[in-house]
């Protein structure tokens, strides 16, 4: 037997058989009947899942057993008994005990799709739009003269998930009323690196346009750990790895990976300091 995702393949006297595979540790993750989703979505889930059971299973008896087990899982999630039985019979009739029928291409008229967020009043909005659609067709200046009423499609609306959990990181709020520092790289005026530092809000790139600096960068940039060394000593440590025009920036760039600086900016600064270092020795 071979288990792949939710399908189990096994050998039979006639060839290869398939059935649904479910781990013993799997939970019942079926969408709840009271979930804030369009009614069409909630009604289509039981039928499509029953249809999948009959189509995946090569044995009709096993398919019926697994379909009844799936019906019980839907019952625990708030779906009605009569509705589930009707969908089960319809799926069993259309699937043909695992035989997939031929798919025919049905030509349908192209209709405009009205996309909006799903809300408690979405049904009323749809009915009002269809009721008063002839008013829009009377205006010849609009492109709706020969169009039929649009199809309503819904995006996921705001639910408890958005209130209880946020996937996007929040922006850190300033503790004081003072504004953040000016974006770019500027001299601190108190170290040996200031004379060789390129200042400004952007820096040139040999292959693309100017690149903006997305933060306030000074000569003293804190790195991870307990070290608070200045920029010049850290750059000097990495200069020993470079010879001539072939610079190896592995040493300095790895330590700078947590400083939220652009790698191209680091290369530019390292090359500048390296050139100045060579001029001083020459």
Q: What is the model's pTM? A: 0.49
Lowest mean pLDDT, pick from 8-22, 41-55, 90-104, 210-224: 210-224
For residues 12 and 209, the model is more confident at 12
Under 8 Å between Cβ of 98 and 54:
yes
If one compares 171 and 16, the residue with the highest pLDDT of the two is 16
Within the chain, strands assigned E span: 2-4, 7-12, 15-20, 113-117, 151-155, 184-185, 202-203, 211-212, 216-217
pLDDT at 33 over 60: yes
pLDDT, tens digit, 9 for 90 and up, residues 153-181: 888 877 777 778 766 666 666 666 666 66
Residue 193: CB atoms within 10 A of its CB come to 23
State what percent of residues in the chain have pLDDT above 70: 58
DSSP string, 168-225: SPPPPPPSSSSPPPPSEE---SSSTTGGG---BSEE--SSSS-EE--SEE-S----SS
Bridge partners (DSSP) of residue 72 are none
What residue segments make up the domains of the chain, in order of their start?
2-95, 113-159, 184-281
CB 72 within 8 A of CB 61: no
Residue 138: per-residue pLDDT: 84
Tell me: the pLDDT tens digits for 194-251? 777 777 777 666 666 666 555 555 554 433 333 344 555 555 544 443 333 433 333 3
């Amino acid at each position: 037997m071979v288990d792949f995702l939710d399908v189990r393949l096994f050998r039979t006297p006639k060839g290869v058989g398939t059935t649904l595979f479910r781990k013993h540790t799997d939970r019942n993750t079926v969408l709840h009947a009271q979930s804030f989703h369009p009614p069409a979505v909630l009604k289509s889930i039981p039928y499509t899942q029953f249809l999948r059971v009959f189509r995946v299973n090569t044995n009709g008896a096993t398919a019926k057993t697994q379909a009844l087990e799936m019906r019980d899982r839907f019952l625990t999630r708030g779906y009605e008994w009569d509705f589930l039985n009707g969908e089960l019979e319809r799926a069993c009739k259309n699937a043909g005990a695992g035989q997939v029928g031929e798919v025919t291409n049905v030509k349908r008229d192209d209709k405009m799709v009205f996309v909006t967020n799903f809300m408690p009043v979405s049904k009323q909005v749809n009915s009002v739009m269809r009721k008063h659609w002839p008013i829009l067709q009377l205006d010849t200046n609009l492109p709706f003269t020969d169009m039929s009423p649009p199809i309503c499609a819904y995006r996921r609306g705001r639910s408890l998930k958005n209130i209880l959990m946020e996937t996007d990181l929040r922006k850190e709020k300033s503790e004081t009323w003072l504004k953040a520092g000016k974006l770019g790289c500027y001299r601190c005026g108190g170290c040996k690196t200031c004379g060789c530092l390129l200042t400004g809000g952007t820096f040139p790139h040999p292959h693309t346009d100017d690149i903006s600096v997305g933060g306030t960068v000074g000569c003293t940039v804190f790195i991870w750990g307990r070290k608070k060394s200045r920029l010049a000593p850290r750059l000097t440590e990495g200069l020993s790895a470079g010879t001539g025009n072939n610079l190896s920036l592995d040493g300095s760039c790895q330590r700078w990976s947590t400083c939220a600086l652009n790698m191209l900016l680091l290369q530019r600064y390292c090359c500048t300091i390296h050139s100045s270092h060579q001029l001083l020795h020459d």
